[in-house]
Amino acid sequence: MQYTQLIDMTMPNINITHELDQIVELIAKTPHGIGLDAIAKTIDSTSKRTLQRRLATLISQKRITAAGVGRALKYLIPDETTTLNSSSNDDKSELVGEVYVPLSAEAQEIKNYVKKPRQQRRPVSYKTDFLEQYHPNQTYYLPADIREQLHSLGRSPAENTPAGTFARDILNRLLIDLSWASSQLEGNTYSQLDTERLIEFGQAAEGKDAMETQMILNHKSAIEYLVMNIDQTDVSKETIIALHAFLSDGLMADPLMCGRIRNRAVDIGGSVYLPIALPQRLEELFGIVIDMAAEIIDPFEQAFFLMVHLPYLQPFEDVNKRVSRLAANIPLIRHNLCPLSFIDVPQQAYVDGMIGIYELNRMELLRDVFIWAYERSCQQYVAVQQHLVPPDTFRLRYRLQLSSIVASIIRACKPAEVSNVSLLMPETVLEEDRERFVNLVIAEFQHLHAGNVVRFGLRPLEFAAWQENNKI
């Protein structure tokens, strides 16, 4: 399948909006509904897979709806759907109420299988040949045309800047979106607004379980850890274990298993898959999975590999899928690509995709979810990009020196004065830049608050002590 119509990099959101409007106009002209093939023939500049994602976006926006099943599936303007009840085989079509993502034929096969009752699905255990069949940079779960499309979608204005620049630029938005969306996939009932209040102001939502609040805060800590340390962070056992420590803090039945490979058997709710139980073998396979992932050059292939094989192995007693979702962002953040926030991903589609991995060792359904989710994330952050202030090249040049001095002054509880900045001036700041650099440091202190000091590797308590000592 070819993806010839990639989004224009200068104004991608305008092209997507135009395509969406064009589809809605076409559907509006067919009051009795129109099928996918008919839409594809009329809008022949868009591949069928891309068209399916556009249709799913319009359904999520409630601009259109779908009715019928199989070949009888038709798309309509919402107020027309209640009258549709037709099928070439005279079967009764059902109004499609399930929020899902558009699926390829292969993914639909997986969905049909995992929808069967558990009693009709054969119990399976971990299969090492699923991993052994994969050869980094020779085997690809994401075909070349899809990888090309994802690279075009995810390219950011910061592509030629140090690793993590783009993620730091949108950090406030990313903390909210990724913390909320990833937690929602685990059944967390916090709303996006509740999540924003918790992350920005520390206000826990009323009536919510403390575990839900902890889950959100754990995501925040893990995302900050990744973004602020990405130049020293890569796909390694240490990084994955650190992510688990952040994400599982206060949520494990046995606190000692926070940040540790499990030493007991686990099962998967809703699945007939039985993960490997032998601790020594588990430890060995965990190392192999991470080493293989680290060899993968393409960031999207690396991200998807982690989303497939970390949950399949289940190296931790719990929180495995959360770890895999944040781990998938490591290569994207390192390459200054748009991060994957999982915003608006239907929970059931994601769960079904994972069960397809567990029970069938097939990734087509999860792959469709991954592609749809990434396009949705890119749409979200295109809007954020348009409101970003152009980067200050002087600040970028001296960002490490700036961070070091700010952190040193706060930890020493010294006032933010020219004399103190001058005493700490590193030799790497050019003579002709020193006066401007001092002004940059002083100005930075005017914008500091407890919510953003993490950018300098500082804890809120350290900042509070500095404020108290300097009567700020």
12: confidence class by pLDDT, cuts 50, 70, 90: very low
First to last CA, the chain: 61
pLDDT digits (tens, 9 = 90+) for 381-404: 765 555 445 557 788 788 889 999
E strands of 230-354, at which residues?
A: 273-274
Of 40-44, 72-76, 291-295, 412-416, highest mean pLDDT: 291-295
In this prediction, residues 271-281 reach a mean pLDDT of 95
Q: Under a CB-based contact definition with an 8 Å cutoff, are residues 65 and 78 in contact?
A: yes
Residue with tokens 């500091």: 448
Where helices occur in 314-362 by DSSP H, the ranges are 320-327, 329-334, 347-360
- Choice between 330 and 159, residue whose per-residue pLDDT is larger: 330
Q: Under a CB-based contact definition with an 8 Å cutoff, are residues 319 and 249 in contact?
A: no
Q: Under a CB-based contact definition with an 8 Å cutoff, are residues 394 and 436 in contact?
A: yes
E strands of 110-244, at which residues?
A: 124-125
Those residues with Cβ within 8 angstroms of residue 398's Cβ, 6 or more apart along the chain or in another chain = 429, 433, 437, 440
- Choice between 363 and 385, residue whose per-residue pLDDT is larger: 363
With H, G, I as helix, E, B as strand and everything else as coil, classify residue 337: strand
Phi-psi region of 125 (alpha: psi -120 to 50; beta: other; left: phi over 0): beta
Phi-psi region of 396 (alpha: psi -120 to 50; beta: other; left: phi over 0): alpha
Residue with tokens 């989004």: 7
Q: Of the given ranges (38-47, 266-275, 335-344), which has the lowest mean pLDDT?
A: 38-47
For residue 338 the two structure tokens come to 């748009």
Taking alpha carbons only, the member of 176, 160, 347, 313 closest to residue 244 is 313
Interior CA angle at 366 toward 363 and 370, to 5°?
125
Where helices occur in 386-459 by DSSP H, the ranges are 393-397, 399-411, 418-423, 434-445
Average pLDDT, the chain: 86
Is pLDDT above 70 for 346? Answer: yes
- Choice between 469 and 368, residue whose per-residue pLDDT is larger: 368
In this prediction, residues 58-63 reach a mean pLDDT of 76
- Choice between 100 and 66, residue whose per-residue pLDDT is larger: 100
Q: Model-level pTM?
A: 0.66
Specify the pLDDT at position 451.
75
Is pLDDT above 70 for 89? Answer: no
pLDDT digits (tens, 9 = 90+) for 30-46: 877 888 888 888 876 66
Ordered structural domains, the chain, with CATH: 12-97 (1.10.10), 119-385 (1.10.3290.10), 393-469 (no CATH)
Q: Under a CB-based contact definition with an 8 Å cutoff, are residues 359 and 273 in contact?
A: yes
Q: What percent of the chain has pLDDT over 90?
A: 60
pLDDT digits (tens, 9 = 90+) for 181-209: 999 999 999 999 999 999 988 899 999 98
Q: Which residues share a beta bridge with 34? A: 75
Residue 55, amino acid: L
pLDDT digits (tens, 9 = 90+) for 230-271: 988 899 999 999 999 999 999 998 999 999 999 999 999 889
Dihedral sign (CA 212, 215, 220, 221) = positive
Distance CA 172, CA 161 (A): 19
Q: Could you give the count of Cα atoms lying within 13 Å of 67 in the half-sphere of its Cβ?
A: 23
Specify the pLDDT at position 330.
97
Those residues with Cβ within 8 angstroms of residue 412's Cβ, 6 or more apart along the chain or in another chain = none
Q: What are phi and psi of 65, to 5 degrees?
A: -140, 170
**93-94-99-102 Cα dihedral, nearest 10 degrees:** -10
- Choice between 232 and 332, residue whose per-residue pLDDT is larger: 332
- Residue 101's alpha-carbon distances to 27, 49, 59, 277, 372, in angstroms, are 19, 11, 10, 34, 7
For residue 349 the two structure tokens come to 């589609």
